[in-house]
Amino acid sequence: EIVLTQSPGTLSLSPGERATLSCRASQSVTNSYLAWYQQNPGQAPRLLIYGVSTRATGIPARFSGDASGTDFTLTISRLEPEDFAVYHCQQYGRTPYTFGQGTKLEIK
């Protein structure tokens, strides 16, 4: 199975700053089927990005995704207060559709 390793585990930043979250895959992700989710406490995850870089419906343009080989990045260009949450990456190109362990983005 494809193992996804997210870093850092926790990222402390201030509103207005730029956030860069990483997700490294243990092998190639089929068809660039890599997604990012945002999860707030007590809520279900919400899809942000699919296909490495396509924003889901209603997701602001400050969220962007990119890839270099098996390294994937979620960038939030300018943090808003509502962006502080946990972020998960998932590969859905090959079963089992594995997730990373998550990155917590907290207010500094």
Partner 1 sequence: QVQLVQSGAEVKKPGASVKVSCKASGFTLSSYYMHWVRQAPGQGLEWMGVVNPSGGGTIYAQSFQGRVTMATDTSTNTFYMELSGLRSDDTAVYYCTRSITDWGQGTLVAVSS
Cβ atoms of residues 36 and 64 within 8 Å: no
Q: Which is nearer to partner 1, 26 or 77 (CB)?
A: 26
Contact with partner 1 (CB under 8 A) among 20, 66, 101, 108? 101
**Stretch 40-99 residues interacting with partner 1 (CB under 8 A):** 44-47, 50, 56, 88, 90, 92, 95-99
Q: Which is nearer to partner 1, 62 or 102 (CB)?
A: 102
Q: Which is nearer to partner 1, 8 or 15 (CB)?
A: 8
The CA distance from 102 to 3, in Å, is: 13
Contact with partner 1 (CB under 8 A) among 21, 35, 85, 105? 35
What is the CA angle 86-96-34, rounded to 5?
50
> What burial letters (b/e) apply to 29-39, b meaning 16+ CB within 10 Å?
beebebbbbbe
Cβ atoms of residues 2 and 55 within 8 Å: no
- What minimum distance in Å lies between the beta carbon of 97 and partner 1? 4
Instruction: Please report, as ranges, the residues that interact with partner 1 according to CB under 8 A.
Output: 1, 35, 37, 44-47, 50, 56, 88, 90, 92, 95-102
